[in-house]
Amino acid sequence: MISVVISSMTVLCVAMSVAQQDTGSDSVGLASFGGFQAAISIGPAAAATDPETPPYLAAGPFLVESLLADWYDQQRNRTIPVKVYYPTEHGQPAPGPMPVILFSHGLGGSREAAAYLGRHWASHGYVSIHLQHPGSDESIWRGKGQPMEALREAARNPRAALERIADVRFVLDRLEQLQREPGPLNGRLDLERIGMSGHSFGAHTTLIVAGQVAVLPGGREISQADPRIKAAVVLSPPVPQQPGQREKAFRKIAIPCFYMTGTEDDSPIGETREEDRRVPFDLSADLAIAIW
């Protein structure tokens, strides 16, 4: 594994900008970042137009449109709000196939989270779909007299984490329908190249789908990895607090992961310390790179 140490946290766009290097194939490849190799390449190339602008900050060649939708999961009687960012050119959706990124917000967030990332990725030729997770979204604290306590209570509810994973699976299934039905993305999605990103609780959701296992008393391991996710960008993930779980939780993550966190990024509602944030990177497999 390669650890990249910087003095302060870089703009989050760095995380997926390394994915813009074209490998010349449809498979996940290795993208160059500052002389290192980051295993995150799932999309098309895009060059910076301003030579003084770092390539990871420069907008791509496409204009960006977005749409809001509420996707209903009949099996769970649950509605998943999403915001979809997609690239356009000449007033029309860009021709496909376009790789897809799912984004999962942190505790108390919404589908509006990380809008700047959605726009940035779409400008480089990605379709970026930002999920909202009912039960761990902004509805749990808005209008509450003690919003921080409401957030802590939601964080202690194991059902919230399970519902988030089911939300991701539902959206992945929904992409097949989106590919077929009339609309701006009809026939334009590359469903063989899907990545995922998330922040905090969303980073935890991302890692579970990427292969992080739950370790039960007695040592039994439960995996909910989804093979449709080919790479991940993980922003300040939390870690298991139970003794002995950390070493086992992350070792089976086998897809390329890019980890980002900050040297002062602790948790206002839990026991996660800033140094804990890099534990998933330290204990993951070799296809990982970190910015700390």
Tokens of 82: 């999403």
The confidence score (pLDDT) of residue 44 equals 43
Side chain identity at 183, as an amino acid letter? G
**Which residue numbers in the chain have pLDDT < 70?**
1-50, 217-219, 241, 243-244, 271, 285-292
Q: Are 73 and 132 in contact (CB under 8 A)?
A: no
- Rounded to 5°, angle at Cα 285 from 257 and 208: 60
- CATH 3.40.50.1260 applies to domain 2-291: no
The confidence score (pLDDT) of residue 157 equals 85
> What phi and psi, each to the nearest 5 degrees, are found at residue 120?
-65, -50
The confidence score (pLDDT) of residue 137 equals 94
The confidence score (pLDDT) of residue 196 equals 98
- The DSSP code sequence of the chain is -EEE--SSPPPTHHHHHGGGS--SSSS-EEEEETTEEEEEE-S-----SSTTS-TTTS--SSEEEEEEEEEEETTTTEEEEEEEEEEEETTEEPPS-EEEEEEE--TTB-TTTTHHHHHHHHHTT-EEEEE--TTSBGGGTTT-SSHHHHHHHHHT-HHHHHHHHHHHHHHHHHHHHHHHSSSTTTTTEEEEEEEEEEETHHHHHHHHHHT-EEE-TTS-EEE---TTEEEEEEES-----STTTHHHHSTT--S-EEEE--TT---SSSS--GGGGGHHHHHS-SSEEEE-
Tokens of 132: 């909202």
Q: Are 189 and 43 in contact (CB under 8 A)?
A: no
d(CA 207, CA 178): 25
The confidence score (pLDDT) of residue 57 equals 82
Which sequence spans correspond to the domains of the chain? 2-291
